[in-house]
Amino acid sequence: MSTPHNSANFGDIAETVLMPGDPLRAKFIAENYLENPKCFNSIRNMLGYTGEYKGKRLSVMGSGMGIPSIGIYSYELFNIYNVENIIRIGSAGALADGVKLYDIVLAQGACTNSNYARQFSLPGDFAPIASFKLLQTAAEAAKKLKAPFHVGNVLSSDTFYDSDSSALLKWKGMGVLAVEMEAAGLYMNAAACGKNALCIATVSDCPLTGEITTPEERQNSFTEMMEIALETAILI
């Protein structure tokens, strides 16, 4: 039961999938955390693996950048491969004053400047939110790991380079914690088919102040985020 974007057969993918944007980070997780990982997809180098973590069968697969890309992969995972839970693990830029470099953001909700919701022909605006079960479990996992984390709203932006230089300040003014590029689309796909989704993001930069992490520092922070996601996955 392959698709144009995924060569996996039905049953090759676990019911819970971790989705980093970068497929090489999916490879890193598979090789460093999963037991007996097997690659189920390499089409377009969007690598996907299934293995075991602490006795539970889990999968990890890249999503690519932006809502259109995660929209394709998450749709197929939910609707074709019967995946029940997708946990996005990626980076975000801090907007709120209390959110610092290396902090973890659990995206309770996802504002967006995308038109992705238009396809559902709703008579109003949809508010994309995370699965409370996943959110609550991730918060508990972060506490156990003593990781600094924040729970709240993020912005899923279609524009990495925005011609409106004041746009992020406006979102900050509405209490948005951080900006990333995928969560809203993932949450909408999950809602449309009655599945569960959560975005866990590491703060890699602060676009309003110019602060940014080094590649080495990002690797350490991303590892912490991966461990929160893995612990969440085995508890749900």
Residue 205 known to be catalytic = yes
Question: Each residue of 85-131: pLDDT tens digit?
Answer: 999 999 999 999 999 999 999 999 999 999 999 999 999 999 999 99
pTM over 0.75: yes
pLDDT for position 218: 72
Spatial separation of the C-alpha atoms in residues 196 and 22, rounded to whole Å: 21
pLDDT for position 217: 73
| 22, 158, 162, 205: the active-site residue | 205
Question: Each residue of 186-224: pLDDT tens digit?
Answer: 999 999 999 999 999 999 999 999 999 887 777 666 899
Spatial separation of the C-alpha atoms in residues 177 and 202, rounded to whole Å: 12
Residue 17: pLDDT band with limits 50, 70, 90: very high
Residue 128 tokens read as: 């994309």
Ordered structural domains, the chain, with CATH? 16-235 (3.40.50.1580)
Which of these ranges, 25-34, 81-90, 153-162, 219-228, has the smallest mean pLDDT? 219-228
**Percent with pLDDT over 90 in the chain:** 95
Question: Each residue of 58-75: pLDDT tens digit?
Answer: 999 999 999 999 999 999
Spatial separation of the C-alpha atoms in residues 87 and 162, rounded to whole Å: 27
Q: What is the mean pLDDT of residues 41-50?
A: 98
In three-state form (DSSP H/G/I as H, E/B as E, the rest C), the secondary structure along the chain is CCCCCCCCCCCCCCCEEEEECCHHHHHHHHHHHCEEEEEEECHHHCCEEEEEECCEEEEEECCCCCHHHHHHHHHHHHHCCCCCEEEEEEEEEECCCCCCCCCEEEEEEEEECCCHHHHHCCCCCCCCECCHHHHHHHHHHHHHCCCCEEEEEEEECCCCCCCCCCHHHHHHHCCCCEEECCHHHHHHHHHHCCCEEEEEEEEEEECCCCEECCHHHHHHHHHHHHHHHHHHHHHC
What would you measure as the largest C-alpha separation in the chain, in angstroms?
A: 49
Q: What is the mean pLDDT of residues 166-173?
A: 98
Q: Please check whether residue 121 is in contact with residue 192, taking contact to mean a CB–CB distance below 8 angstroms.
A: no
Spatial separation of the C-alpha atoms in residues 78 and 26, rounded to whole Å: 18
pLDDT for position 220: 60
Residue 2: pLDDT band with limits 50, 70, 90: confident
**Tokens 């144009």 sit at which residue?**
4
pLDDT for position 215: 76
Q: Please check whether residue 38 is in contact with residue 50, taking contact to mean a CB–CB distance below 8 angstroms.
A: yes
